[in-house]
Structure 1
Amino acid sequence: MIHGMDPIRFSAEVDARPWAALTHAYGSAADVPDCLRALAGEDDEKAAEALSELYGSILHQGSVYEATAHAVPFLARTAAAGVRAADVLAFLGGIAESGADDGDGDEAAARRAVTAELPLLLASVEAEDSDVRQAAAWAAAMTGAADEAYGALRDRFAVETDPQVRAELLGGLVHLDPARAAVLATAATGPGEPAEVRVAALTGCVDAGADWGPGHYDAMLALLPADPLVTGRVDLDRSEPLQYVVSSLLLRNTPADREGAYALLAAALRTGRPEVLAEAAWASESAVQISRSARERLAGPLCDAVLRDPEITEAVLPLLRLLGGHAAQAGSVLAEMAARDDDRADQALAALVDVDPVLAVPLLARDLARRPRALDAACGGAFGTPRVPCDADLLAAVRARLAEPGALGGQEPYRFAALLESWGSGASSALPDVLAALGKFPQQMTRALAAVCAPEDRAEAGEALRREARSERREGRLGAARALHQLTGDTEPLLTVLAERLEDGDPHGRREAASLAAGLGPRAAVLLPALSAAVSDPAADRTTPELDADIAVAEALWRIAGRAEEAVDLLRGPLSGAGPSWMRWTVSRAARVAAQLGDAGRPLTEALLRLLPEPVQTPVAVLALCAVAPETLDGPVTAGLLLDSAEQDADPFTALEALIGLGPAAMTGGHRRRLTELAERDLRVTASRVEGTTASADERFQERAREVLRALREPGEEA
């Protein structure tokens, strides 16, 4: 017997399931039986490894699979036998949390399987071991079975004395029935409860939709720093209470809740306590990503705190960077830090670039080689654009670095090229240095060369690019050929390189070459045979890069020679069905090329119409249909679908573009009110998928939404 279980019977019943025919995150679930046996076995090390493997396979990053529901009964039996019960119950809770209430999919099956074990979970809430009680309370709540579980958890809460278990019970009650638990959570915020329970009560209050008042404000401040109070919780979604409360209040998008959130943050930022400041800074960073007014509202209290105690500056550098120019008052403190000769100087200078670029430039120029973070900030990071002016001292520093190409390291060649390209002819004095660096960094320097070249230097620069485009070094040939075409109009080297890339087996190279060929139009007619030959086998199971390459070929065939029939055939595949989420951009690219075909793309109408109901594809489908078959669109209905897409942050920028395509006649008064709300509300619309860029993306959206509103005004309508 193993922990009171019959291992032979357990193993036999495990083996009776058709695991090899079931699937999990990595394919066949044939490995699950061994994991279940090891988890129930006596070897603790093997059991821990088995649990880790099960988390990775049947509950992979919060997703459940076909095999998950089949594993649940054996996990429940393991827990019921008292074998690693707390860990296994928490695992069952995670499965339930990732499931769904209804439907026929794996998610619904997984939750049903855990809900079927609810008698075990509720019995375990009465266990002697507090860890087991805590895990069981959370797992029972995650089933969502309020009718069966609420009363049992409420009864246990009435007698539970362990603070962590009590906190988990309260969180579970709020999850099961927020309205019923709101009074309970509000009562538990008072000083009569342990701190762990009070913080759970505060997050429970916002989850339950309770009004946030002075009592909540005072309790939250008194509990800071709050993170240590939840380190023992099974519920990981509320592991940063201040951030959770602030974000929840801001997402309610009401004036009163915003005031509550910002009053809380301002008080926390001004405490001067390092551990509180760390939580407040992180919560403030989240606020900037959610609320359009956050930068302005947070700048005052944060700058006050920095000026009062400059030593805290290092702890809030990321937040200062997010606040940008709103935090200019702290520029002098950042400049003093940036002027030092220590490890913090580069980080401080990077923040100063965002807060006050003009003040930062002299410091950046003074010690450019030792300021990689600041240089990165000056160039806008990996996904931005350079933001510093063409200063004589900074240009001299860049030239000095380029003069020693062997000394350049890391991202310097890319960053210098980006700066020079943004400065253009204002940096023409750097041409000799760029030419000198071209041989070592051809891929980076070719675009910079074309940008800084003055008219009188085109012959010299063109000859250098021509040599590079015809060299044996593959790395810089395409960039050199492109720059040469941009600078002189000479297409011969570019056509040669594109022909080579189209014959390449790499679909990424084929896609890039086909796109550049499309940009040349009829001048690329010599590439038509190579383009046709570059199409992937339609009978094969094509990868996303191969489909993307075919879409680029379709565009090239159309723009070079008007070969609509071939283009339509190539676009049918990507447009034929919804497919996985990672296909959305491939479908979008295909729809945009279809839009270029105009009436010649009419055979694609049905495929495009099938995309309309899906919010992530609605905008590109509308753009294409406006060009291909505009009579198929009901203007007001379509405008409503586009606004749905924007409101869901599915593809908001393209939704605005498509609204312009529909024109003013499609916009009702209700549509204009919805678009005005998107443009003027405090809650951000777009959540960029690139960390740290949400605010800037939303600000671009807001500006564009206002432009669209103006463009779609009816004749005679007031601005």
Structure 2
Amino acid sequence: MDLERLFVDLDGVRWADADHAYGEADDLPGMLRALTGDEEQASEALDELWSSILHQGTVYAATAEAVPFLARLAAAGVRTGDLLVLLGGIAESRDEYGLPRPGACRSAVADQLPLILPLFDSPDPEVRRAAVRAAGCTGAAPALPALRARRAAEEEPAVLAELLAALVLLDPVEGAAAATAALSPELPAEVRIVAVLGCLDLGLPWSAVHRETTVSLLPAGPLVAARFDEERDEPLHYAVDALLLRDTDEDRTAAYELIEAALRLPGAEARGEALWAAEHACMISRGAPLRLAPALLALLADPSFTDPVPMLPVLGRLGGHAAPAAPALAALAELDGESADRALEVLVRIAPDQAGPLLARDLDGRPRTMRAVTGFPGIRPALPIPYTPELLNAIRIRLTGIAGADDTTTGDARELASLLLSWGRQASAALPELTAVFERLPAPLAPALAAICPAEGRERTAGLLRRAAAAGESGPEGRCAAAQALRTLTGETAPLVSALKDALTEESAPELSRAAGELGPEGDVLIPRLWAALTPPGTRRTVPDMDADIETALALWRLTGDAAEPVRVLGGVLAEAADREWTRRTLSAAARAATLIGPAAAALAPALEALLDDHEQVPAALLALCALGHETDRARAADLLLTSVERETDWTTALEALAALGPEALTEKVTARLTAIAERDLRVVVSGVGAEPAAADESLRRRVRELLATAG
């Protein structure tokens, strides 16, 4: 092997000027040379290259620089198949970062076709497949003659499938004819499933032939398992997604009929693919739960369907349409193990009144359900579960166990307290058990202690909270939590002022400043501590520092009524955060703070206007500009805000800002877009955990309809 020829110009590349996923790419020459080493060195280098130049599908400036050397190595027989797969992934990527021009990496691979195309004739079918994939992903027409020649000679089904996929990419007209012809039952299954996918990609009308072909090939996952195309590695799911995204009545019906036909198949693997496709349909289509519920419930009742566990995720997405499944879910939830826990979580969603007694039977053995009903602040909303005596009694028993344990589990206690808090004084019978644990865990339990306390226990509970608020062993968090709960219970503020005074001396945290700002005149004594908590001028702030400074600035404004210094602090945060990564939430928080201050924060308008170039910051920035009284181009603002909603970008703030623009901003064009958002079949909110996105999407629809009602 002539390594000198392979690596000519390698050291002439200015690698330090080209970045990859981890920064400067001056380590790439070593990785490339290591590919020619022993098996261990080469495997490690290949892993590092994937991670560095095609990190999670993203390509970089250094990626384009590395492509010629990868192609030379592949052509010379150095890990040919592996490097061709890497080159195909690079050519396929549309996720680009820091490139000199769009498509630079794809062009770099296309430039290497003279080295890639001869590998179409390799005796190794895996090399042929990888070479065809890499050439097809370039989209470069010069690859067509070699592709056609290989198709005429190829006999291996897997390679034929890859050739068809590449033809669809390189020549849509010829590809459409070839894909349609390849639906024939006489051709290998691997080719036929790729033909279905190709027809979808080309936007061809869906027909009964496409449906029958797809259903006949299920389970289709094994047919594409060896392909390099990870986007289409679940053909049924992909087909349903593609049809629904066409967003026409005809294609929606086609997607539902495809799922229903797949659900009727007898095999567990085929049904599994159908259930996953049905779940995805319910995730993105507002009409899917109603349409698919009968077929799914029929399958659940089918005697041949002996394992309902794979159906649990999609049942959770059906909402009220899954109510008839409650008896089956309850029967499964009565069993032991993870499957019973998952069934109970779904039962909470569709029949919460039946879930409480079942959860009470085994609190410790239902961690998934407990996480669902207690939620997690800012990440996962809690699913409400009605009060039942059985569940309250189970919580009391569990609290007694925690009180007697040597090691107290904060997470368990927090979840139990969350349930009690949601019930309020209905849960007052648990006050003795909660009190027994409180002294060990004041921070997570204090709010629940105040919430469930009955009138006759108020004096004793208040005393307990006062002691915890004053005790140093409670720690700053515990003292403040106890003092805040005491204020809720009795209206006393002095213990909270004292706890915050000491806590602010020890640390600066957003929640401390927020609590101080909410005290009103009683918090005036904390003003010096808040001033001291601000990051000193000239100090480079971390993201937590900036978050704390935002809340501290707001607290100072609330307590003093003077906006000058708080506005200066917010301006500094906006300037620093704009030049950093991972500060999206911080920028939005600063904009929301400016919204609260209002016209007195007018000096922040230029910094807020600069945020309008970042679609993620548009909602908070425009809401703030409206609050500042800043003159805004309403047409442009409305367009930006509607785009934010359509992209699921902080839609609650975007709609609030759109309302703040006033009725005159709700033009005919704007109301037409709002109407489409509210009434279309495709959901706007699709990201999140479990069934929560569907609930959020319904909230969005209600809010949009309310806004439309003001348009007159």
Instruction: Please confirm whether the aligned pair reaches a TM-score higher than 0.5, indicating the same fold.
Output: yes
2: distance between equivalents of 1:372 and 1:229?
A: 37
Q: State the AA in 2 paired with 1:629.
A: G
Distance 1:100 1:431, change over 3 A: closer
Q: Deviations over 1:135-193 (max 9, x none)?
A: 11211222233x33345434433432221122222222323444552232222122122
1:637 counterpart = 2:633: no
Contact 1:168 1:234 in 2 (8 A): no
1:493 counterpart = 2:495: yes
2: distance between equivalents of 1:79 and 1:195?
A: 30
Contact 2:53 2:63 in 1 (8 A): yes
Distance 1:656 1:258, change over 3 A: same
Q: Deviations over 1:215-245 (max 9, x none)?
A: 1110110000000000110111101111111
Q: Match for residue 392 of structure 1?
A: 389
Distance 1:156 1:502, change over 3 A: farther
Structure 1 residue 25 displacement after superposition? 2.1
Q: Match for residue 15 of structure 1?
A: 11
Distance 1:153 1:489, change over 3 A: farther
Structure 1 residue 691 displacement after superposition? 5.9
Q: Deviations over 1:475-508 (max 9, x none)?
A: 5223222212222222233233333443445xxx
1:378 to 357, 366, 373: 373
2: distance between equivalents of 1:179 and 1:468?
A: 76
2:399 to 363, 385, 402: 402
Q: Deviations over 1:512-531 (max 9, x none)?
A: 21222222233322222222
1:524 counterpart = 2:520: no
Q: Match for residue 457 of structure 2?
A: 457
Structure 1 residue 561 displacement after superposition? 0.9
Distance 1:645 1:179, change over 3 A: farther
Contact 2:387 2:426 in 1 (8 A): yes
Q: Deviations over 1:622-644 (max 9, x none)?
A: 211111134x1133332222112
Q: Give matches, 1:243-322, under 5 Å.
A: 243-309=237-303, 311-322=306-317
Q: Match for residue 417 of structure 1?
A: 417
Distance 1:476 1:674, change over 3 A: same
Identity fraction in percent? 48
2: distance between equivalents of 1:175 and 1:235?
A: 13
Q: Match for residue 81 of structure 1?
A: 76
Q: Identify the range of structure 1 (544-553 vs 678-687) with the bigger mean alpha-carbon deviation.
A: 544-553
Contact 1:470 1:477 in 2 (8 A): yes
Contact 2:61 2:98 in 1 (8 A): no
Q: Give matches, 1:132-171, under 5 Å.
A: 132-145=127-140, 147-171=141-165
Distance 1:691 1:554, change over 3 A: farther
1:636 match: secondary structure: helix
Q: Match for residue 685 of structure 1?
A: 684
Q: Match for residue 65 of structure 1?
A: 60
Q: Match for residue 221 of structure 1?
A: 215
Structure 1 residue 101 displacement after superposition? 9.2
Contact 2:240 2:277 in 1 (8 A): yes
Distance 1:221 1:410, change over 3 A: farther
2: distance between equivalents of 1:514 and 1:23?
A: 40
Q: Identify the range of structure 1 (191-200 vs 399-408) with the bigger mean alpha-carbon deviation.
A: 399-408
Contact 1:99 1:110 in 2 (8 A): no
Structure 1 residue 14 displacement after superposition? 2.8
Structure 1 residue 421 displacement after superposition? 0.9
Q: Deviations over 1:315-350 (max 9, x none)?
A: 212222222332111111122222234553333222
Structure 1 residue 614 displacement after superposition? 3.2
Q: Match for residue 28 of structure 1?
A: 24
Give unpaired runs (5+ residues) of structure 2. Answer: none
Q: Match for residue 554 of structure 1?
A: 553
1: distance between equivalents of 2:568 and 2:265?
A: 65
Q: Deviations over 1:201-226 (max 9, x none)?
A: 11111111111111111011000000
Q: Match for residue 177 of structure 2?
A: 183
1: distance between equivalents of 2:614 and 2:484?
A: 38
Q: Deviations over 1:111-158 (max 9, x none)?
A: 33222212222222233321111111211222233x333454344334
Q: Match for residue 717 of structure 1?
A: none
Q: Match for residue 700 of structure 2?
A: 701
Q: State the AA in 2 paired with 1:364.
A: L
Distance 1:521 1:161, change over 3 A: farther
2: distance between equivalents of 1:497 and 1:11?
A: 67
1:110 counterpart = 2:105: yes
Distance 1:641 1:15, change over 3 A: closer
Structure 1 residue 450 displacement after superposition? 1.7
Q: Deviations over 1:396-446 (max 9, x none)?
A: 121121122146758432221111111112112211121112123323211
Q: Identify the range of structure 1 (190-199 vs 217-226) with the bigger mean alpha-carbon deviation.
A: 190-199
2: distance between equivalents of 1:209 and 1:357?
A: 43
Distance 1:111 1:590, change over 3 A: same
Structure 1 residue 291 displacement after superposition? 0.7
Q: State the AA in 2 paired with 1:590.
A: A
1:60 match: secondary structure: coil
Q: Cα RMSD (Å) of the superposition?
A: 2.4
TM-score by length of 1: 0.92
Q: Identify the range of structure 1 (223-232 vs 313-322) with the bigger mean alpha-carbon deviation.
A: 313-322
Distance 1:272 1:359, change over 3 A: farther
Contact 1:523 1:560 in 2 (8 A): no
Q: Deviations over 1:344-399 (max 9, x none)?
A: 33332222222311122222223333332333333357712242111122111211
Q: Match for residue 612 of structure 1?
A: 612
Q: Match for residue 467 of structure 1?
A: 467
Structure 1 residue 259 displacement after superposition? 0.6
2: distance between equivalents of 1:115 and 1:103?
A: 20
1: distance between equivalents of 2:308 and 2:125?
A: 42
1:320 match: secondary structure: helix
Distance 1:114 1:245, change over 3 A: same
Structure 1 residue 198 displacement after superposition? 0.9
Q: Deviations over 1:598-631 (max 9, x none)?
A: 221111112222223432222212211111134x
Q: Match for residue 713 of structure 1?
A: 711
TM-score by length of 2: 0.93
1: distance between equivalents of 2:564 and 2:467?
A: 39
Structure 1 residue 567 displacement after superposition? 1.4
Contact 2:58 2:95 in 1 (8 A): no
1:363 counterpart = 2:358: yes
Q: State the AA in 1 paired with 2:81.
A: A
2: distance between equivalents of 1:70 and 1:160?
A: 33
2: distance between equivalents of 1:649 and 1:341?
A: 39
Q: Match for residue 205 of structure 1?
A: 199
Contact 1:270 1:302 in 2 (8 A): no
Distance 1:484 1:219, change over 3 A: same
Q: Match for residue 436 of structure 2?
A: 436
Structure 1 residue 448 displacement after superposition? 1.0
Structure 1 residue 247 displacement after superposition? 1.0
2: distance between equivalents of 1:693 and 1:564?
A: 39
Q: Identify the range of structure 1 (74-83 vs 121-130) with the bigger mean alpha-carbon deviation.
A: 121-130
2: distance between equivalents of 1:400 and 1:544?
A: 42
Contact 1:64 1:98 in 2 (8 A): yes
1: distance between equivalents of 2:63 and 2:336?
A: 56
Q: State the AA in 2 paired with 1:713.
A: A
2: distance between equivalents of 1:702 and 1:570?
A: 37
Q: State the AA in 1 paired with 2:74.
A: A
